[in-house]
Structure 1
Amino acid sequence: MIERNARLDIIIVGAGLGGLAAAVSCALAHHRVVIYEASKELAEIGAGLQITPNASRLLRRWGLEAEVEAVAAEPTLLAVHRYSNGKVLAEERDFDMKMRRKYGAPFLDMHRADLQKILFNKALSLGVRAELGFRVSRVVSGPEVVLESGERVHGDLVIGADGLWSKCRESMLGKSDQPLPTGDLAYRIVLELDKITDPELREWINNPQVHFWLGPYSHAVGYSLRNGTMYNIVMLCPDDLPKDVSRSKGSVGEMKALFSGWDPILTRFLEQVDQVDKWKLMHREEVQSWTNVEKNFVLIGDSCHPMLPYLAQGANSSLEDAAVLGGLLSYVKSKEQLPRAITLYERLRKSRSEKIVRETFHQRDAFHMPDGEAQELRDSLFASQFGKSISCKFPSRWTCPEVQPWLYGYDSYHEADEANKSHPLSSIGDIGSASPQSL
């Protein structure tokens, strides 16, 4: 147990998934935590999430397994289809059992709002103070958070978890820094089972599975939520939104036209849609550091490594950040050890997260091939491994024997523990030049 006078006063900016996860992990490490969130309430916004084993094991560690699984869907199959006729290019049967057997934790599909609510309630139960309706304008040395009201709040550590449009990132860099378009946008759809009468579509929703459809410059993914009572579809295609628009109401007719001629089961799902939103997919350039020089101000999640959704690692990676940070802070026995913990955090997390970001672009390339020679070679590779134990770098990273274990096998708390063994926070030596591989 950390001595009371050694507990840190931690300020978290943002009550998204990363900020709430950080609040939970830091509170479990016996530090005092307050969150400042601009929204006045945590509304049910967003859509589906794929919680992969690298994150679901953290939810279990935080005592949330039963609550999460009560509102999740666990897919029994992961299938990849050709867009035009629905031909199955690749599939992994008994996917649920294989994930638990290989990684000791489940692959779960759930609504973002459900996970946010679960994490928020857990944080409150641990004594975290949540200040909603307080917008942060900047972070200054001290460290201090400056609210739009002008009020200043001082802490021992500030964690910037304020997402893609991060004010904390701008404070860290000392300049305005706008997200960059990727050239893609997403149509996000959530359908409710009780509003659908088509028996085959109801069967798809009732029996949780993950389905991808690969097409020219576009792809779609569908999966069940809330124990098979909702269906989440994301349609990813070239961006046609104006430069200064990041989200807008979409035209259902336009969306259907873009995906006309695709697999009939998918287009039948689209016939159930009466409204849809369009989201511009954005990214950011890598930054030199996620921390300030004093090591008392740090970024996590989308504020420092926003990810395209093609590997579903945005939320999962934010939870990894939170767990590694909380795991390291559990070893802090005096405030003088904080800079060492923050240095270790950046060494552990930055290279992995940025590698995942790059891998998402590779997955987009593999999924968005226009019809032609490269697409035929890709589909031939799919065919060569169908029904077999995959033995090569696979076009679908979701079941690739190289990428999947690296993504899903990651244990944040183990990484933090091993880093502290190699570079104890209680020691005096410098770790400024330590590489991630040496930690």
Structure 2
Amino acid sequence: MVELAKSAKCLPVSEPPELENWVHPSGRLILIGDTAHPFPYGATQGVAVCIADAAALGEFFRHLHNDSQIKSFLLAFEEIRKERIQNVLKSEVMNLTGMTLPDGEFQQMRDTSFRQNYDLGLDAFDGEDKAARARWEMDKDVFAYDAEEHAAEWWNDWGLLKERAYASESAQPVLDALGPVHIQVSSQSQDVILRAC
């Protein structure tokens, strides 16, 4: 592959700055993908998180019934995706840092640990290297995630609740539908009688 390249560029690997908000205050515009959360050059999950953004938005908007839900969905998207992206980015930066160590003591320790595990028939991240184990645990979390499922959980926990509250606010109260009402309370029982006029 390197031989087929017509030119090569050396690009710095650095953690991009984080945007404070992805949703415009109007609630009608959102940044997603690389515009909201750019990943460093050489990262392996950059495209995957963009696809996961689309999957989560699709799951939210599957439940859209009226315009008033849009802002709530966009804010929920930012809420559930932002922390996720930060964790994936942290994992990516750790992996890039670990795999691009300059020649020296830490690079030799990493390589020795991987070789020893290989000779013992162990996985690269098994054994004594706690930093490598921590990286592996983060990587497993990256791959064991379903963006649609996470959005569906939000819908079940919060979206339905908000929708039902909105429906009850916009519903006409029963007493209003009856018109003027006289309330009659019987002194011999606790019964309350409602009578439409």
Q: TM-score, normalised by structure 2?
A: 0.69
Structure 1's 339 and 428: CA in aligned 2 closer, same or farther, altered over 3 A?
Answer: farther
- For 1:292 and 1:274, the matched residues in 2 are separated by 41
Q: How does 1:220-239 map to 2 (within 5 A)?
A: 233=1
Unpaired segments ≥5 residues, structure 1: 1-232, 234-269, 430-439
In structure 2, what is the Cα distance between the partners aligned to 1:274 and 1:372?
29
| Larger RCO, structure (CA 8 Å, separation 6 or more) | 1
One of 85, 92, 95 as aligned partner of 1:363: 95
Match of 2:132 in 1: 394
Equivalenced residues, count: 157
Unmatched tracts of structure 2, length 5 or more? 167-197
Q: Once superposed, what is the RMSD of the aligned Cα atoms?
A: 2.5
- Letter aligned with residue 158 of structure 2: H
Closer, same or farther: CA 280–396 of 1 in aligned 2, 3 Å: farther
Paired letter, 2:32 = I
- Residues 105-120 of structure 1: pairs in structure 2 closer than 5 A: none
Match of 1:340 in 2: 72
Is 1:324 paired with 2:62? no
2:34 touches 2:50 (CA, 8 Å); kept in 1? yes
Structure with higher Rg: it is 2
Cα deviation for residue 332 of structure 1 reads 1.2
Deviations 1:235-265 (A, max 9, x none): xxxxxxxxxxxxxxxxxxxxxxxxxxxxxxx
- State the shift of 1:367 in Å: 1.4
Task: Name the CA distance, whole Å, in 2 between partners of 1:378 and 1:283.
Answer: 22
Distance 2:107 2:97 in 1: 10
Tell me if the contact between 1:328 and 1:416 (Cα under 8 Å) persists in the aligned partners: yes
- 8 Å CA contact 1:363–1:396 kept in 2: the answer is no
Q: Distance in 2 between matches of 1:290 and 1:274?
A: 36
CA–CA distance in 2 between the matches of 1:309 and 1:395? 24
SS in 1 for 2:72: helix
Given the superposition, is the C-alpha separation of residues 308 and 396 from structure 1 closer, same or farther in structure 2, using an over 3 Å criterion?
farther
Match of 2:9 among 252, 257, 278: 278
- Higher helix residue share: 2
Candidates 408, 411, 414, aligned match of 2:149: 414
**Take 1:278 and 1:358, find their aligned partners in 2: how far apart are those partners?**
25
Which amino acid in structure 2 is aligned with residue 403 of structure 1?
M
- Aligned residue for 1:424, secondary structure, equals helix
| Identity over aligned pairs, percent | 24
SS in structure 1 of the partner of residue 9 of structure 2: strand
**How far is 1:309 from its partner?**
4.1
Specify the alignment match of 1:105 in structure 2.
none
Deviation at 1:372, TM superposition (A): 1.8
Paired residue for 1:288? 20
